[in-house]
Structure 1
């Protein structure tokens, strides 16, 4: 449940992506690359493994070893919330200050010791034993969602499963009332539009600003109710920690709720969507998984490697550094491109091939080191439940003839919809 982040939004709305040969020689900004970035990643790994993109105003690091090392390098700081707004006009910065303030307390945008303190509290909810205990409930939710579409013979994998399952699950983890969970989707999507954009416009930033304001108001009310009637959910645990002296300030608590909602929804949604799309496009691999359920765990790891929901994570350079003889100066921004690292042939033979029997899949989709995704185990449970149940119930499912549209977001990789025909024997639970 990691989340990527974006370069600074432009003062004026960005034009449609273009590929000027001089300013964008690798065609990073074209719709074609956003739909399929992997050929461009291959060129970057080979020709320019540390490449400054003027369009994204930062350095793209694309080789596996450099990306993995970057997560652990103390010269690369995760504390980067201010970078979203620092070069904007003063009036715009002031308007976006509530958004910057909220992001400034997200654990994934902090360095130790602030990161350590907040992360230690979050980790209590995601220990393997507790997450594994959620598996029966997650599987039941998958079946309920598929029950709703089975009689129609068709579905949209994102709308009917990928979007809803993570929302319902993270809602239960946080203790959000069932009737409110669909309200959270719009807020999460608005944050995704901002955090995953390559060049966020003022419209996108304004949507994220409104989402944060509404989310904070919403969680203030939920927190007040939990103080009166605590439960077994994560929010109650965070409040209980206050009584034990591990205090989160009000802004830290609100920011943590927003971060967990976004991370628990957006990334897992695209794990499910990208993963099932890959299987629908590779029928031999899909049949191999149906024939051998023991492949499920490694299969989800391969799906994460093959088409990572998070394509990059950014860092701020605290001190001059060199990568492959290229000097990266202090104060610049670096993008650790997970999607490129996960297809580095130095670590993954024949990396552009989907191979569910691949061994030693040490992908970087959940990050590395102290910022390794706290919700990785939960995302895996959800991904495994969604993939296994879909394949079992709809063995003859196929993509519909409708064209697929990728979101124009270089940091968060996912489709706008995945329409599917379920086949003549859309199965019962």
Structure 2
């Protein structure tokens, strides 16, 4: 699992890997990949994939070997119109990450942001109820608007951005970050959203310079970061700040709704909602893969990875690793999901995970089932899943 003076064997090759099939359901592919080994070469996507929990978590602890910075794997940079902190190594990454850590710590989230999260949740439950049990779609009518509204507040954009625009920008940026097949229409949408967000920032950055507030944008601005870095990291926050919380809302409702015994355990109080949040993040990882690049030729878990190789850390696969999680393919809210990699790990762990856990696991889900006790997945209308680099429900019809 380090540099070596002898040449280890090349990793097994998954020449059968189908990215479009993974977008429908990546978990059968993850199981096949883990059976091949902890490192697998996937020519179809030009990457060496780390498949096991041990290989992924070890790579996250060795950024000097698996670099977040790359001059060749630039989908995130292109999607966001600049290089955000997630595609940098320390000390540059640390300087940018520390500028927003204060506003996203658990205590700050609880004291500063949670009251607004609660108001937003009730407002959109009202909207969901207005849609009615025959037409309601949890993603469209609740999850995406809640996540968008919360992020508008966190970024300090209240009053100048609507939930529809925020949701669309996030979708465009996420699609771009995952655009490993280089679809031109995806890049066109990214560029359009970059221009629209840029126009909003042109308006609010001068105001925040004069009158700082507690928002993420203000913290980035007042840490002395150059304007282009502030903008790239606002784009980064938009990408994950809607996508991941919205997916966690729908993923939890789908998981609990298709496992009614598990829902009963949580609603009885035997298991806390926060524990169900963590198990859902493990079982249905909102982030499926994160990119890295090797800084030297490596002997990693007994196989050779060349210098400068594009590497994919398969968080979704690692979270179903049977050597770490007993009966890993089973959804079980009573399990201790500690150690899951649903939001990454190490220095690049998702900065917003505590805000997401508060907004979703401690506020949105309990309140949703409190106000709509008979809420359930609608068996008469099909749910729609999409993605594997980022994965979640893009439509979840519900009824009550």
CA distance in 2, matches of 1:65, 1:99: 31
Secondary structure of 2:277 counterpart: helix
Number of residue equivalences: 381
Alignment partner, residue 186 of structure 2: 204
What is the TM-score of this pair, normalised by structure 1?
0.84
Shift in Å, 1:225: 2.1
Pick the aligned partner of 1:376 from 349, 353, 360. Answer: 353
- 1:363–1:261 CA distance, 2 compared to 1 (3 A): same
TM alignment of 1:26-65, pairs within 5 A? 26-31=16-21, 33-65=22-54
Cα distance in 2 between the residues matched to 1:83 and 1:286: 41
How far is 1:81 from its partner? 6.0
Q: Please list every run of 5 or more consecutive structure 1 residues that lacks an aligned counterpart in the other structure.
A: 1-22, 86-95, 242-246, 424-429
- In structure 1, the partner of 2:237 is 260
Aligned match for 2:103, one of 120, 125, 129? 125
Which of 146, 151, 160 matches 1:170? 151
Deviations 1:257-278 (Å, cap 9, x if unpaired)?
A: 1111222111111111212111
State how far apart, in whole Å, the 2-side matches of 1:217 and 1:179 are: 11
When the two chains are superposed, the root-mean-square deviation of aligned CA atoms in Å is 2.1
What are the residue-to-residue correspondences of 1:131-280 with 2, within 5 Å? 131-133=109-111, 134-151=113-130, 152-154=132-134, 155-182=136-163, 183-241=165-223, 247-280=224-257
Cα-to-partner distance string for 1:286-309 (whole Å, 9 max, x where unaligned): 111111165211111001001011
What secondary structure sits across from 2:384 in the alignment?
coil
Identify the range of structure 1 (119-128 vs 151-160) with the bigger mean alpha-carbon deviation: 151-160
Gaps of 5+ in 2: 1-12
**Runs of 4 or more consecutive aligned structure 1 residues displaced over 6 Å after TM superposition:** none
1:365 is aligned to: 342
Q: Which moved more, 1:342-351 or 1:188-197?
A: 188-197
Q: How does 1:65-76 map to 2 (within 5 A)?
A: 65-73=54-62, 74-76=64-66
Which of 328, 331, 334 is 1:351 aligned to?
A: 328
Render the CA deviation track for 1:144-202: whole Å, top value 9, x for unaligned: 10111224225211111211111111111111023513222211111111112341311
For the structure 1 residues 362 and 51, does the alpha-carbon distance in structure 2 shift closer, same or farther, using more than 3 Å as the test? same
TM-score normalized by the length of structure 2: 0.90
| Worse overlay, 275-284 or 341-350 | 275-284
Match of 1:109 among 87, 109, 114: 87
* Distance (Å, rounded) in 2 between the aligned partners of 1:215 and 1:149: 28
Paired residue secondary structure (1:41)? helix
2:313 alignment partner, SS class:
strand
